[in-house]
Amino acid sequence: MTDRAGRRPLVAGNWKMNGLKADGLALTDAVLAGVRGGAWRCELLVCPPATLLSLVGDRLKGSPVRLGAQDCHHKPSGAHTGDLAAPMLADIGCRFVIVGHSERRADHGETDAEVKAKAEAAMAATLIPIVCVGETLAMRERGDALKVVAAQLAGSLPVGASADGLVVAYEPVWAIGTGRTPTTADIGAMHQALRAELKRHLGAESDRMRILYGGSVKSSNAAEILAIDGVDGALVGGASLKAEDFLTIARACA
């Protein structure tokens, strides 16, 4: 089913650095048990840690739940110890990959240019990059949130992006894992600003591009957030580690 301007909502679970084999498979099985027999308005995606990608991918085969990775390298192969190339992720069944998450930008010093290169590598491997942008609390309190996020987006957008081949996620850094969320007015204003920026860079093609909200999305606030005009789904962190919470958020798309 589709939403505004033909955009089908996407609810993506980012498991981050959580889950051993037993945990990950149990969570996967619980999510699959919850989706069986249902008609889902949104597209569902889980992004396990790298150690679980192949195992979880095998479980998801034939289901409506997509598989995604949390990062990729910008080169397709080579001497890059510890990194994973986008073609490797596609080879084990990934359909999406998160790039530029604020935790990667902060912990690994990733720049907009690096995020752009990773997004382009993902697209070259037929993966859909989820490009993350978002401001810190200090930036918002200075009144710079819109300016900062617009600049991040401009610097991170891959060349040749299309509506079917790219997702943008707005995640205010100060809301990730803190239990705090912006007001609905603030979320709506940022999504409208991002839509305008996408249109400026990509033209009419951007009308069908999905913009997700992330940052302390949980079962108790999902319906309110997903009802905001311009919000095309959610990038869910901690709440995606509990199957029922994740599925409750997905149901809120209705």
pLDDT at residue 4 in the model: 63
Burial of 4 (0-12, 13-18, 19+ CB in 10 A): middle
Q: Which two tokens stand for residue 68?
A: 């995604």
Q: pLDDT tens-digit profile of 9-51?
A: 999 999 999 999 999 999 999 999 999 977 789 999 999 999 9
Determine whether the annotation assigns residue 174 to a binding site: no
Q: Is 134 annotated as a binding residue?
A: no
**What pTM value is reported for the model?**
0.96
Taking only Cα atoms into account, the Rg of the chain, rounded to an integer number of angstroms, comes to 17
pLDDT for the residue 38 = 77
200-216 pLDDT tens trace: 999 998 999 999 999 99
Pairing of strands 65-69, 167-170: unpaired
How far is CA 131 from each of CA 121, 124, 165, 228, rounded to the nearest angstrom?
A: 12, 15, 11, 20
Architecture of the domain whose range is 4-245: Alpha-Beta Barrel (3.20)
Cβ 97 vs Cβ 87: under 8 Å: no
Are 174 and 137 in contact by the 8 Å Cβ rule? The answer is: yes
**Whole-number Å distance between alpha carbons of 5 and 231:** 12
Q: Locate tokens 């997004």: which residue?
A: 119
Query: At 2, is the pLDDT very low, low, confident or very high (cuts 50, 70, 90)?
Result: very low
What residues are annotated to the active site?
101, 171
- Residue 24 among known ligand-binding residues: no
Annotated ligand binding at 116? The verdict is: no
Whole-number Å distance between alpha carbons of 41 and 11: 10
Q: What is the mean predicted confidence (pLDDT) over 110-136?
A: 98
Ligand-binding annotation for 162, yes or no, is no
| Residue 74 and residue 117 in contact, taking contact as beta carbons nearer than 8 Å | yes
Please write the tens of the pLDDT for every residue from 85-117: 999 999 999 999 999 999 999 999 999 999 999
Query: Residue ranges of the domains in the chain?
Result: 4-245
pLDDT in tens, 149-190: 999 999 999 999 999 999 999 999 988 888 888 999 999 999
